[in-house]
Amino acid sequence: MYFALMGTCLALFVLAWGVVRIWSVPAAVGMCLVAMVIPPVAAVVANRRGPDDRWWDDPSGDPQSDEWWDELDGRKRH
C-alpha cells in the first residue's frame, strides 16, 4: 500500500509539471497540493499495526511478567 501511495504521489508531481502545466498552471498546482498530502498518509499506513499486535509489549523473557501482561490483555484467563 505504501508503494502504491508513493507511486501515486510521484506520478501526480511528474504529470503536473511535465504535462498538465502546459494547459493549466492552477490545475498543476492543485495536483501538487494533493501530492503533498500523500507522503504523511503513506507513512501512517505503513506504520499501522493490527489489533492483535503487541508492539508495545513484546515478550520480555520473564514468564511472570509476560503472564501478567497476557492476563491484562485478556489473552489468558485464570
Residue-level pLDDT at 23: 93
Is residue 56 helix, strand or coil? Answer: coil
Question: Does any domain span residue 71?
Answer: no
Residue-level pLDDT at 26: 95
Task: Kindly state the cell numbers that stand for 35.
Answer: 501530492
Question: Does any domain span residue 74?
Answer: no
Range of the domain at 11: 1-48
Question: Does any domain span residue 77?
Answer: no
Question: Does any domain span residue 68?
Answer: no
Is residue 23 helix, strand or coil? Answer: coil
How many domains are there within the chain? 1
Regions of the chain short of the pLDDT cut 50: none
Enter the pTM of the model: 0.60
Question: Does any domain span residue 19?
Answer: yes
Residue matched to cell numbers 489468558: 76
| Residue 76: C-alpha distances to residues 51, 56, 69, 71, 73 (Å) | 16, 18, 9, 5, 8
